A and B are shown apart, each in its own frame.
Chain A
Amino acid sequence: MTAEDVSDSDRKREAHYHFDRHAVGYRERFGEITKEMQTKCPVAWSDTYGGHWVVSGHQEVFDIARRVDVVSNDHDPEGKRRGYQGVTIPCTFLTQSGFLEMDPPEQRHYRQALNPYLSPAAAARWKPLTDEVVRAAIDEIIETGSIDFAHDLANIVPAVLTLAIAGLPIADWPLYCEPIHALVATPFGSPDRPELTQKMYEIITSLAAAIAHGRQQARPGLIDALINANINGKALDDKEIIAALVLILIGGLDTTAALTAHALEYLGERPAERERLSKERDTLLDSATEEFLRFFTPASGDARTISADCEIAGTRFMEGERVWLSWAMANRDPSVFPDPDVIDLARTGNRHASFGLGIHRCMGSNVARMTFKAMLTAVLDRLPDYVIDPNATVHYETIGVVQGMVHLRARFTPAQRVGPPLAETLAALQRTCDEQRLAGPVTRKVR
Chain B
Amino acid sequence: MKIHVDTEKCQGHTLCAMRAPELFQLDEIDGHSSAVADEVPASQETAALEAVRSCPEQAIALS
Residues of A within 8 A of B (CB): 62, 66, 111, 115-116, 119-121, 286, 290, 348-353, 355, 357-359, 361, 365-366, 442-445
Contact = CB atoms under 8 A, between A and B. Distances in A.
Nearest to A58: B56
A352 B54 CA distance: 8
A444 B58 CA distance: 26
Closest 8 CB pairs of A and B: A349-B53, A361-B11, A121-B28, A351-B56, A115-B30, A119-B31, A120-B31, A120-B26
A14 to B, nearest CB: 29
A351 B58 contact: yes
Contacts of A120: 14, 17, 26, 28, 31
13 contacts: A115-B29, A119-B26, A120-B31, A121-B28, A290-B18, A348-B54, A349-B54, A357-B57, A359-B11, A361-B13, A365-B12, A442-B28, A443-B29
Contacts of B54: 348-351
Residues of A contacting B: mostly: loop
Contacts of B11: 357-359, 361
Contacts of B12: 119, 361, 365
A350 B15 contact: yes
A119 B11 CA distance: 11
Contacts of A62: 58
Contacts of B9: 66
Given A349-B50, A355-B13, A359-B11, A444 B29 contact: yes
Given A121-B31, A351-B54, A365-B14, 9 more contacts: A66-B9, A119-B26, A120-B17, A120-B26, A120-B28, A121-B29, A349-B54, A350-B15, A361-B13
A352 B17 CA distance: 15
Contact of B29 (A290, A365, A442): A442
B27 interface: yes
A119 B27 contact: yes
B55 interface: yes
Contact of A348 (B14, B30, B53, B56): B53
A293 to B, nearest CB: 10
A353 B14 contact: no
Most buried by A among B15, B29, B57: B29
Contacts of A350: 15, 54
B51 to A, nearest CB: 9
Contact of A445 (B14, B28, B53): B28
B16 to A, nearest CB: 10
B18 A286 contact: yes
Contacts of B53: 348-349, 351
Contacts of B17: 120
B30 A119 contact: yes
A398 B32 CA distance: 35
Contacts of A442: 28-29
A116 B12 CA distance: 13
A351 B57 CA distance: 8
Contact of B14 (A111, A115, A366): A366
